[in-house]
Amino acid sequence: MEKRFVYADNSATTKISKPVLDAMMPYLTEGYGNASSIYSIGMDSARAILKARETVAKAIGAKTSEIYFTSGGSEADNWAIKCAADLGAQRGKKHIITTVFEHHAVLHTCEYLEKHGFEVTYVPVDEMGLVHVEDIEKAIRDDTCLVTVMFANNEIGTIQPIAEIGAVCREKKVLFHTDAVQAVGNVEIDVAKMNIDLLSMSGHKIHAPKGIGAMYMRTGVNLPNLIHGGAQERSKRAGTENVAGIVGLAKAIELCTANIPEKQARLSKMRDRIIAELLKIPESRLNGDPKRRLAGNVNISFRGIEGESLLLSLDLEGICASSGSACTSGSLDPSHVLLAIGLPHSTAHGSLRISLSDDNTEEDADYIIEKVPAIVSKLRAMSPLWERILRDEDIDAE
């Protein structure tokens, strides 16, 4: 097959789509008015923000007044967790529940709170990467102020029983936050039906730009501010609005939620074909649940190789993907997500994540299916680890 460029790292970030860029362009050029100003180009910006807020709200079953724009998913996570903790502390409740395999925007925020007098329970996930509702329910105490569980995992794609967890939290009167950065546009979300109090989303995972996101905060929750300053976002989040980013986020969410079932069907077919073909490689395994997973997520471990080398070889062939191997992040430990589902270190190190989006084609899938097995064989031929696996040595023993 002729060399091509295949971008298959859409869980890391996505390309801005043409309609999103077109929607943003006026606000990056002539429509530069400050939305707080009373002259017409300011009012134009304010109107664009209002319209965007309506669009975002509608996409997740929220009210317009429940959407607050932020600088991205990380800020929304920080806001939800730190400020729910603040609110809890005011009532003597200083216990938080989360899971072991959240995004670092959640985990590191919880660790920060632990250093500031809060107690955090990290609920485990099973070997498929699913959180059990009973485990959440059992962890809830009288002093629990927040439960935060991600909607869909960014590495292995497992989709969590969010509505069930929401129901438990509502019954026990505990605030429930979900990091839905990977789920928005890929899974149907209805914050009211799912009893979600707080939800984080991000633009750059759904073909909008980096640096824009939003938080949904249910009416009546009334968290304190994370960012103090001007009166933007109804005095809840200061900072002159990123009008173009906000308009781009709304356009992206409108497009990606327009026909979720059809997109899921197309992408999951491609995903399952890639999974079936790559699992023909000896000593490979699928990470995460085969069915309850994001339509575009493939995560497979190949024993005896390093994810880093695999990524570099794929790059030479024009394929962008990702790995749970952690050398790039400056740590020797492999991904906390892969360890949380019980993978031995050696297996976690040889993992490959392929994340597909609307932009990917069947030809992209063909190309991935052709290139990956050849690269894995080549790397194994040079790997001392692979020799030991062939000799049946227990490489995780030491």
**Which of 33, 72, 129, 209 forms a contact with ligand PLP (CB under 6 A)?**
72
Residue 39 per-residue DSSP state: S
DSSP calls for 331-353: -SS--HHHHHTT--HHHHHTEEE
The least CB distance from residue 214 to ligand PLP, in Å, is 10
Name the residue nearer to ligand PLP (CB basis): 77 or 364.
Answer: 77
Q: Which residues contact 203 (CB under 8 A, 6 or more apart)?
A: 72, 209, 210, 211, 212, 213, 245, 248, 249, 252
What is the pattern of x (binds ligand PLP, CB under 6 A) and - over residues 153-192?
-x------------------------x-xx----------
Binding status of residue 44 toward ligand PLP by CB under 6 A: no
Q: How far apart are CA 268 and CA 274, in angstroms?
A: 10
Amino acid of residue 375: I
Q: How far apart are CA 143 and CA 152, in angstroms?
A: 27
The least CB distance from residue 143 to ligand PLP, in Å, is 27
Tokens read off for 225: 């501010």
Q: How far from each other are the two terminal CA atoms of the chain, in whole angstroms?
A: 42
Total residues binding ligand PLP (CB under 6 A) = 15
145 labelled catalytic? no
The least CB distance from residue 351 to ligand PLP, in Å, is 17
CB distance 254 to 55 below 8 Å: yes
Name the residue nearer to ligand PLP (CB basis): 74 or 242.
Answer: 74
Phi, psi of 297 (to 5 degrees): -100, 125
The least CB distance from residue 147 to ligand PLP, in Å, is 16
**Which of 8, 67, 68, 73 forms a contact with ligand PLP (CB under 6 A)?**
73
**Which of 16, 60, 150, 376 forms a contact with ligand PLP (CB under 6 A)?**
150
Name the residue nearer to ligand PLP (CB basis): 179 or 197.
Answer: 179
What is the pattern of x (binds ligand PLP, CB under 6 A) and - over residues 92-121?
-----------x-x----------------
Residue closest to ligand PLP when measured from CB atoms: 73
Name the residue nearer to ligand PLP (CB basis): 267 or 376.
Answer: 267
Phi, psi of 387 (to 5 degrees): -60, -40
What is the pattern of x (binds ligand PLP, CB under 6 A) and - over residues 201-220?
-x-xx-------x-------
* C-alpha distances in Å from residue 32, one per residue of 18, 23, 40, 53, 54: 20, 14, 11, 18, 21
Phi, psi of 32 (to 5 degrees): -95, 10
Nearest to 151 by CA among 109, 106, 116: 106
The least CB distance from residue 390 to ligand PLP, in Å, is 36
The least CB distance from residue 368 to ligand PLP, in Å, is 21
Positions touching ligand PLP (CB under 6 A) are 72-74, 77, 103, 105, 150, 154, 179, 181-182, 202, 204-205, 213
Q: Which residues are catalytic?
A: 327
